[in-house]
């Protein structure tokens, strides 16, 4: 990455952490950097592998949980009951995720994408039911694997 892009990206990292009232630690910066560089979602294991330095599992887990709580990343359930994480858009905030989009999991490369332009369809529930959160996960073959 060119030096100028690295400076801009580092400024964005620091701004995101400060906006959310978080202290700026090396582990938070490194994990957030991974999300900014990633096209799709990341699992806990992906983060541990790609971090480039050894963060213990607890540090990664706690950092991800803080990022979810602050609306920096959102969770995506998978068919194997694991969780992937993806960077939230600007509309998300502490305790309020606005990730009403479709998640797509590629059967070939196993990458999970947020399809931001595809809005979750309205679900009409029977009388007496109230939806709190709707997740739509579509599985198939992504455009890169076609």
Strand partners, 128: none
146 found inside a domain: no
The pLDDT assigned to 53 comes to 66
53 found inside a domain: yes
Question: Percent of the chain scored above 70 by pLDDT?
Answer: 84
The answer to whether residue 135 scores a pLDDT higher than 90 is: no
Do the Cβ atoms of 136 and 102 come closer than 8 Å? Answer: yes
pTM above 0.75, yes or no: no
115 found inside a domain: yes
Mean predicted lDDT score pLDDT of the chain: 81
Backbone angles phi, psi at 140, to 5 degrees: 175, -145
The pLDDT assigned to 125 comes to 92
62 found inside a domain: yes
Residue ranges making up the domain that contains 98: 3-140
**CATH number of the domain bearing residue 8:** 1.10.10.10
Domains held by the chain: number: 1
Instruction: Determine the average pLDDT of the residues in 44-68.
Output: 84
Give the single-character DSSP code of 110: -
84 found inside a domain: yes
* Angstrom distance (rounded) from CA 69 to CA 62: 10
145 found inside a domain: no
- Residues 82-101: tens digit of each pLDDT: 888 988 866 555 555 555 67
- Residues 29-51: tens digit of each pLDDT: 999 999 888 877 898 888 888 87
- Residues 3-18: tens digit of each pLDDT: 555 555 778 888 889 9
């Amino acid at each position: 990455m060119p030096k100028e892009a690295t400076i801009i990206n580092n400024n964005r990292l620091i701004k995101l952490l400060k906006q959310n009232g978080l202290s700026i630690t090396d582990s938070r910066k490194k994990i957030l950097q991974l999300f900014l560089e990633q096209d799709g979602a990341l699992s806990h294991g992906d983060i541990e592998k790609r971090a480039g330095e050894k963060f213990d599992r607890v540090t990664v887990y706690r950092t991800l949980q803080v990022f979810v709580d602050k609306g920096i990343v959102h969770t995506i359930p998978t068919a194997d009951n694991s969780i992937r994480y993806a960077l939230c858009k600007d509309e998300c905030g502490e305790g309020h995720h606005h990730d009403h989009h479709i998640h797509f999991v590629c059967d070939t490369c196993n990458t999970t994408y947020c399809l931001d332009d595809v809005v979750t369809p309205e679900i009409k529930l029977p009388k007496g039911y109230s939806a709190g959160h709707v997740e739509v996960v579509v599985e198939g073959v992504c455009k890169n694997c076609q």
